[in-house]
Structure 1
């Protein structure tokens, strides 16, 4: 027996053979730095180098092709202060963010609540609500242009309802063109909000809902006082994503209206492209890009802090 006990003491434990050791201070685990280091290096090289290079270009008067690069310092940034198109694009971005955020959050929450109720054909319902989110805007852009043209389906429906006086060339007026772009984006992005809210509602404590119903709360009161506050984290995340997406929006306004008419749907993303590529003013476009980056960081930090305070 003594020989067996001595051999057992000499034999390494199963934990030590697997690479984990237990000491007096508790289990010791290997560092995860080697696993995240490659991703950190790629991010530092690809992302932060590009940001730094864009900042350098923003101090140049350069067309992006010529070897002649004139250093102009902060002239491109001071030029922004007196550029009415830039301020118009910034205003459109703010209106776009407010309208699309309210629209997609409200509709996504309502659709998710309906799905949690007793609704028929639930799988079909999910597909119908979510499928716009997976459709490429480039695919739908010709359809939207046709729908909102003077002879399109929107005016046709108004004529059929006896509201032909409301029909117009929706994409030819700056005010209505911006509304069209906002409606298209709400249609495209509501599916994502719907899926996230549906998952968040599945985590709400059912006992809290039952207690609210015992206290006499109806469906609307339960949604407003119990379910909506419980989805606060999802709401903050969606607001942050919407702010960043609004700042860099490009595809829908460019493909549907081209930024027009008369800069009526010009956004920061379309302005950067128009300035850098067709107008070959890369330095000024880079300056607008740096402003966009700062605004995106401020919007993300503000959304997280607002959600944390609430």
Structure 2
């Protein structure tokens, strides 16, 4: 009887602690998600109380009729390439810092500082840094490289890479911190044994460090892929989408709040969610197969 009473009390305690988080999850996540799906099946303009049901018409328009709505997704490829470079740099710096070189704490702080800064402030700084005769051009002039001056945000050929550079600088410290934490968990005796066997630094990284931190790098790659699909702050604050820098999220917001096509914007949001889920599942499947080998 006492055992049954204790089990009931435990269940009540668990239920009591779950009520608040489940209520908040339902109120702010699950319910809005189903509302989003419903809006995507209507022609709602965001203001009128009338919502005419149009079925899959909005999805058909986005995927087949109006290809310009999907065009901004191409810009995500640039940010994905930038995220790969960012991950490689973060791993490189983390490996160096993990060796305990002099001044590593200061160097780690300087690399992580951009991530803790306000994103709006960082974007505004880069907006003027990349202007004609701005900070970057002044720096190139100072070191005698005037021939490298460019119209960094005015030239459509290089503006996307300029924004990718700003994004890499912004989030490099975050990936560095995660990778550095993963390196701290690698047993040092493995490196000592490898050194005794005559393994060089490259072989130690290839056969000890990389396999040990592979799960963390896989998680970062997934986060980078999702981030490249959801880019908004950097291009919006620096170029406002000019010169072909509009991203899919910016196009979605434009559809909803400028053109008052909330139904189409909701369908775009659902499509973006599907792309994110597909990329996550594909990468997880690939990593699981690699882990089984």
Same topology, TM > 0.5: yes
> Alignment partner for residue 277 of structure 1, among 242, 249, 257?
257
What TM-score do you get using the length of structure 2 for normalisation? 0.89
1:86 equivalenced with 2:66 (yes/no): no
> Alignment partner for residue 115 of structure 2, among 106, 112, 133?
133
Unaligned runs of 5+ in 2: none
Counterpart in the other structure of 2:183: 201
Counterpart in the other structure of 2:270: 290
More helix by share: 2
Which shows bigger deviation, 99-108 or 192-201? 99-108
1:147 equivalenced with 2:129 (yes/no): yes
Deviations 1:196-219 (CA, angstroms, capped at 9, x unpaired): 111111111222212221222112
Counterpart in the other structure of 1:8: none
Distance 2:283 2:15 in 1: 30
**SS across alignment from 1:60:** coil
Moved over 4 A (4+): none
1:304 equivalenced with 2:284 (yes/no): yes
Unaligned runs of 5+ in 1: 1-15, 22-27
Deviations 1:197-246 (CA, angstroms, capped at 9, x unpaired): 11111111222212221222112221122101100111111112222222
**SS across alignment from 1:231:** helix
Any residues of structure 2 matched to 1:4-83 within 5 Å, and which?
A: 30-31=10-11, 32-81=14-63, 82-83=65-66
CA RMSD of aligned residues (A): 2.3
Higher Cα radius of gyration:
1
What TM-score do you get using the length of structure 1 for normalisation? 0.84
Which shows bigger deviation, 74-83 or 180-189? 74-83
1:258 equivalenced with 2:240 (yes/no): yes
**SS across alignment from 1:174:** coil
